[in-house]
Amino acid sequence: MIAVGKDNFMQGIKFCLVFPPYKESEDIFFLKTARNNLGKIPPLSLLAVAAILEKYGAEVKLIDANASGLSVDEVIQTAVEFSPDFLGFTLSTYQFHFTLEWIRKLRSKVDVPVIVGGPHARIYPREVLTHECIDYCVMGDAEDILPQLTYSLVEKKSLTEVGGIAYKNNEGDVKSNDFSLYIDSLDGAPFPSRHLSDNSLYYSLISKYKNFTAMTSSRGCVFQCTFCDNHCIPYRAMSPKRVVDEMEICKKDFAINEIDMFDGVFSVNKKRLLEVSDQIVKRKLKIYWSFRTRADLIDKETLTALKSAGCIRIYYGIESGSAKILKNIKKNVEIENIKYILKLTKGAGIDTFGYFMVGNYGETYETISETMDLMLSLPLDYIQIAPIFYPPNTEVYSDLMKVIKRDYWKDYTVDSELEMEFPIIGTDFNKSQIHSIVRKMYLRFYLRPKFIIKFIFSLKSFSQLARSVKAVFDMVRESVIDNSANKEF
């Protein structure tokens, strides 16, 4: 690690951080419903980056084109007027080329170095840097890496000692410094720069209160699910005090009333979860919040504490109603435990959201029926069902590569024209059948009279009603059009 000099060494330096609109792959968001009605979630990674830059004195312009509905030309105009010294973007795999197109267009009018981060930059930094419009990749936690990189660039120092970056040297060769990727403690991370965005623009499909925002309080994961690569990053979590401090700032400084915790698994440590709840109560902080977890990490004691602390919803990663499938995807949760904890959660007065997947290794009509039966029997308020997909750096993708004989995402990163429809491995279902089954499962759940009546009485605002009606209408229309599922289901 190199020293970055005085605390305000970025004084006079301008960064423009851009978040393009979503244009996700059909493999994940195949329904028009999902694409159009998921909501507007704040770009947490860029807000965190902005805070790091501001800590060292930089002037930051954050342009959330997704929430603001801005075109690339409108963003270019704003960026030109700001006249930055650097442009910054976050890269995800499924919309990499769409973001790349925005980078090219911006770079053509604002010819300054481009720094990128995010999961795709972490996994494929060398391939990302084959594109001339991108200059530097931040491959790990930005808190230390980005200041060191910026300091070295400003002071024209060698980049060889800056850990966690990939870059092109003077000869145009890509170099990768695979050290010092992660910080040990998250408590020192500055609070995200929410003052740079309009917090009134954000909402989720099922959020109930304005203003709404999202938070993350940990990085990495201790579990080994085959469809996720979070376990490839060391797990670290903020202290309960740091978590509630940020919630309090959201409430007092930005009039935020609802927070969705976007940690992959928020309740890894029961003691931490109870302390978060306790601090919210002790501070008399009136905030509504939700989080994601597994059923085997919740019990009656935590539910009582969560309810008293304003928790209104828990997102449970259920995935399947088949014990065989859960074993195959290394989601080692007992079906009976799922039933028990979901019942306890509703009994505590907390809404429940269930995540499901279809098309996993070993999937059959029997296992899908088991999932359907479980889904309809659980006291769930909302569900989301995803067809199987194959993100890079996951176990399911490693299995896929053995079948297709290539690292598709690596080749895709270099070649914008590359297109390939993945086979569904480990099952006799094809992609069309899987997608059609998912549609029918959505309809079976959401069009039950019991659900519709309960949902109407749970609404908190007209805007929530309008969003929900539109989502259901889109879902029904698409499902009526679609007739490709096997009639056995």
Residue tagged 């060391």 (tokens): 234
Top CATH class of 14-177 equals alpha beta
> For 283-333, where are the alpha helices, taking DSSP H only?
300-308, 323-328
Q: What is the dihedral of CA 461, 462, 464, 465, to 10 degrees?
A: 130
Distance, CA of 339 to CA of 337 (rounded, Å): 5
Which tokens sit at 49? 């980056």
Helix locations, 164-299, DSSP H = 240-254, 270-282
Residue type, 318: I
- What is d(CA 177, CA 152) in angstroms, rounded to the nearest whole number? 14
Are the folds of 14-177 and 199-388+424-481 the same?
no
Alpha-helical regions (H) of 69-194? 72-82, 96-109, 119-123, 125-128, 142-154
Q: Are strands 39-40 and 203-204 parallel, antiparallel or unpaired?
A: antiparallel
Cα angle vertex 35, ends 34, 36, to 5°? 95
For the chain, how are helix, strand and coil distributed in percent, rounded to 5?
45, 15, 40
**Residues 96-126 pLDDT 10s:** 999 999 999 999 999 999 999 999 999 999 9
Of 381, 308, 307, 288, the closest CA to residue 342 belongs to 381
Can you give the pTM of this predicted structure?
0.92
142-154 and 44-55 are packed helices; what angle lies between their axes, rounded to 10 degrees? 50
Confidence of residue 481 (pLDDT cuts 50, 70, 90): very low
Look at the alpha carbons of 52, 10, 4, 165 in this order and tell me if their dihedral is positive or negative: positive
What is the rounded distance in angstroms from the CA atom of residue 354 to the CA atom of residue 412? Answer: 32
The band of 460, judged by pLDDT with boundaries at 50, 70 and 90, is: low
CATH number for the segment(s) 199-388+424-481: 3.20.20.70
Strand, coil or helix: 387: strand
Which pLDDT band holds residue 188 (cuts at 50, 70, 90)?
very high
Domain borders along the chain are 14-177, 199-388+424-481
pLDDT tens figures, 52-94: 999 999 999 999 999 999 999 999 999 999 999 999 999 999 9
CA distances from 189 to 2, 6, 123, 134, 192 (A): 18, 18, 23, 26, 9
Q: Are strands 174-177 and 165-168 parallel, antiparallel or unpaired?
A: antiparallel
pLDDT digits (tens, 9 = 90+) for 374-388: 999 999 999 999 999
